[in-house]
Each structure stands twice: as structure tokens, then as C-alpha cells.
Amino acid sequence: MARRPVPPKDLLSVSDIASDLDRLLVRAEALKTERARGVKRPLLAGRNLGMIFEKPSTRTRVSFEVAMNDLGGHAIYLSSRDLQLGRGETIADTARVLSRFVDAVSYRAFHHADMVELARWASVPVINALDDLEHPCQVTADLLTMRERWRGRFAGRRLAWVGDGNNVLHSLLLGAAAVGLSLSVATPSGYRPQPEYVRAAEVLTRGTKATVSLTTDPEEAVRGADAIYTDVWVSMGEESETKAREEAFRGFQVNDALVALAKASAFVLHDLPAHRGQEITDSVLDGPRSAAWDQAENRLHAQKAILERFLGPRTRPRVRQ
Ligand code: CP
Ligand code: NVA
């Protein structure tokens, strides 16, 4: 009998959940329905999550905390500035010590290499809460939002990305491909996604009818699309590039004229926080086609499914180092 492969210990990239994504989204939807009905299940009773943040956060922090609380567990906010990490204690030592206290660690990092280092030394699961390469929790919520609006079916749908070839796009390339959703990406020529992510997405789309295409023309990407997604032009940690980026991204604003090129039923996604008047206009973000607020709420439901998957009762026991 074929044995199911052992699931990875950590969620560092969407590739760690790619084979499981459909099931994770179904579970997130079920947890959302339960919450709406006022049902609370202590699926993570007695479990503790340590949350290391090197960068600010509103949605990720609060959704992790509320998710742990709703599931009967506890979350501890750890600003890297206040940890000994900020005074030079190594990531490896931090990982080994935290693993003696908590059942999982979420980490928002500047550098993906630090994420990998933390996961290497932690005996407990590490969940990527955003780094310079990926934002897997965000994209799980994004797919949940699209799945709801398309009544569970991604096949035959196309999402247009307009903006930077950044961490969110990398995760979206993998996530969309994994669920069979086509993606048209428009970025300025110097801001394309890393080619490894495009190649990995192309591999994941094999066996589906989904496609991945890249262009430097936002209109080409958006024309006939079922949804449009944009993100900030300047991500956290890139502030010194602000001027050059504002120049390069002129023409990549998601405004009413651009949205009019998509299908009449198309909706608009933004992971937030938004820079209103830059990558998106007030009229689009606050308008009837904006899905951004549902998308933000879905961070909570997606995070619950992720937490249950990575630190729930069915998780393997860990050997402590
Ligand atoms: N979208 C997102 O990750 O938001 P925060 O930076 O507020 O966590
Ligand atoms: N690309 C953005 C996402 C913020 C949630 C950043 O990294 O700052």
C-alpha cells in the first residue's frame, strides 16, 4: 500500500503545503463557518505559539493571536528588538531555547536565510509569517477568499497580478499553480518575480489546465481576468529604494480604468496595508469590487487551518535537541 509522504515539519514556503492546499482551504472554510455559528473547539488546548516579529504587523500578529485563543491555545508576541536576539544571541540558540518552551514558532523575518536557520535549529514547527521571499499564510487566506467567491472552483479562472515581483507574488505563483488557477503577472521589467518561482509554478501547473504568464503591460494582464491582485510598490525593508520604485511603478496603479478591463464580475484583492493613491485608488479599495476586507478577515480562518495542521494533535512528536 502506498504510504503518504511525511508532511514537512515547517511551513517556510507554499511549496510545503502545495500538495495539501485544497484540503487546507476546505478546512479553513469549515472553521470559518463554525466561528460564525459561535462554535468554539479547543483543538489546540494547552498549546503555545511563540511569534517572533522583526518587522511591524497588524493582520498577521492579530490573526495568529486570535486564532490561538479561539482554538484554546496561547500566543506570545516576541519583538526581535526585545529578545536577546536583538543583542546578538544567535538564531540557532534562540531556536533551541524557544523549542523547550513553546509548541511552534511563527517568524516574520527580513531574510529567508534566517527563517531557514531558525527552522533548522528548532525542534518544533516554524511558520513563515513573511520574509523577503514568501508570505505563505497570506496566500492561503487569498486563495480562501477566491475559493469562496468562485464557489470552490479555481479551474478556468484567471487572476491578474499588477505590481512588484515580491514575496507575496512568489507565494501566489506557487499557491495558484497548486490549486489550478491561472495567473497573469504584470510587473515593470526590473521587478519580475525570481525565475525559480516561475519555474516551480510551471511545474506545479502540469496536469492542470492552468497557465502562468509574465508581461510588463498591466492592461494585457488584466484584460478579461476574473480577479486582480496588487500589493505595495515598496515592501518592508526596501524603504531606501522608494524613489526609484515610485518611478518604475508609475502606470501600475489599480484604478477604475484598469479594473474596467477585467470581467464585469471581477473583484480586487490587496493583502494590506495599502498605500492609497499609489498601487491602488481609494475608489477601487473602498468600492463594491474590493474583496480586501473579506481577504483580511480570512487571515484568521486560514491561520487556524494552518495552526491545526502544523501543531494540532495529529502532529508527530518532536525529538528535543
Ligand atoms: N498582510 C499582512 O501580512 O499584514 P500585516 O503586515 O499587518 O501583518
Ligand atoms: N510585500 C509586503 C507585504 C506586506 C504584508 C511587504 O513585504 O512589506
Q: Is any ligand 1 atom within 6 A of the Cβ of residue 271?
A: yes
Structural domain containing residue 227: 138-297
Tell me the average pLDDT across 249-276. 98
Q: Is 59 in the pocket of ligand 1 (CB under 6 A)?
A: yes
Q: Of the bound ligands, which one is closest to the alpha carbon of residue 131? A: 2
**Reduced to 3 states, what is the DSSP secondary structure of residue 218?**
helix
> Residues 307, 267: one domain?
no
Same domain? For 241 and 104 the reply is: no
Q: Which residues, other chains included, contact 281 with Cβ-Cβ below 8 Å and sequence gap of 6+?
A: 253, 254, 255, 256
- Gap from CA of 62 to ligand 1 centroid (Å): 9
* Band of pLDDT at residue 312, cut at 50, 70 and 90: confident
DSSP for 109-165? -S-HHHHHHHHHH-SS-EEE---SS--HHHHHHHHHHHHHHTTT--TT-EEEEES--
Place of cell 479594473: 259
Residue 214 and residue 159 share a domain: yes
Q: Are residues 176 and 93 in the same domain?
A: no
Output the pLDDT for position 316.
Answer: 45
**Domain count along the chain:** 2
Q: With contact defined as beta carbons under 8 Å apart, do 168 and 225 qualify?
A: no
Reduce the DSSP state of residue 27 to 3 states and report it.
helix
Q: What is the mean pLDDT of residues 137-146?
A: 98
More confident residue, 315 or 8: 8
Q: Give dist(CA 161, CA 229) in Å, integer.
A: 5
User: What pLDDT is recorded for position 291?
Assistant: 98
Predicted confidence band of residue 5 (pLDDT cuts 50, 70, 90) = low
Measured N-to-C along each axis, helices 21-36 and 136-149 cross at an angle, to the nearest 10 degrees, of 70
Mind listing the pLDDT tens digit for each residue in 289-305? Answer: 999 999 999 999 999 99
Rounded mean pLDDT of the chain?
95
| 187 lies in the same domain as 147 | yes
Spell out the residues 6+ positions from residue 100 whose beta carbon is closer than 8 angstroms to its own: 320
Report whether 188 contacts 216 (CB < 8 A).
yes
Same domain (yes/no): 101, 221: no
- pLDDT at position 317: 47
Q: Please tell me if the CB atom of residue 166 comes closer than 6 angstroms to any atom of ligand 2.
A: yes
Q: How large is the average pLDDT for residues 241-265?
A: 98
Same domain? 32 vs 160: no
Question: How does pLDDT run across 221-240, given as a tens digit for each residue?
Answer: 999 999 999 999 999 999 99
With a 6 Å cutoff on the Cβ, whether 54 touches ligand 2 is no
* Ligand 1: nearest atom to the Cα of 272: 1
Q: CB–CB of 230/270 below 8 Å?
A: yes
Q: Which residue has the cell 516579529?
A: 53
CATH code (residue 191): 3.40.50.1370
Residue-level pLDDT at 207: 82
Whether residue 319 lies inside any domain: the answer is no
Report whether pLDDT(212) > 80. yes
The verdict on 149 and 287 lying in the same domain is: yes
Nearest residue CA, atom 3 of ligand 2? Answer: 235
Instruction: Encode pLDDT of 194-211 as tens digits.
Output: 999 999 999 999 988 999
Q: Is residue 122 located within the same domain as residue 160?
A: no
Strand pairing partners for 290? 268
Q: From ligand 1's centre to the CA of 15, what distance in Å?
A: 21
- Shared domain for 166 and 103, answered yes or no, is no
Give the pLDDT confidence score for residue 36 in this predicted structure.
Answer: 96
Q: Is the pLDDT of residue 1 over 70?
A: no
Percent with pLDDT over 90 in the chain: 93
Cis amide leading into 195 (omega within 30)? no
Residue 318 has pLDDT above 90, yes or no: no
pLDDT exceeds cutoff 50 at 119: yes
7 assigned to some structural domain: no
- Please indicate, yes or no, whether residues 40 and 86 belong to a single structural domain of this protein: yes
> What pLDDT, on the 0 to 100 scale, is given for residue 295?
98
End-to-end CA distance of the chain: 33
Question: 195 CA distance to ligand 1 centroid (A)?
Answer: 25
Q: What is the distance between the alpha carbons of residues 65 and 58, in angstroms, rounded to a whole number?
A: 11
pTM of the model: 0.96
* CA atoms within a 13 Å half-sphere pointing along the CA-CB vector of 164: 25
Residues 159 and 240 in one domain: yes
Place of cell 474583496: 291
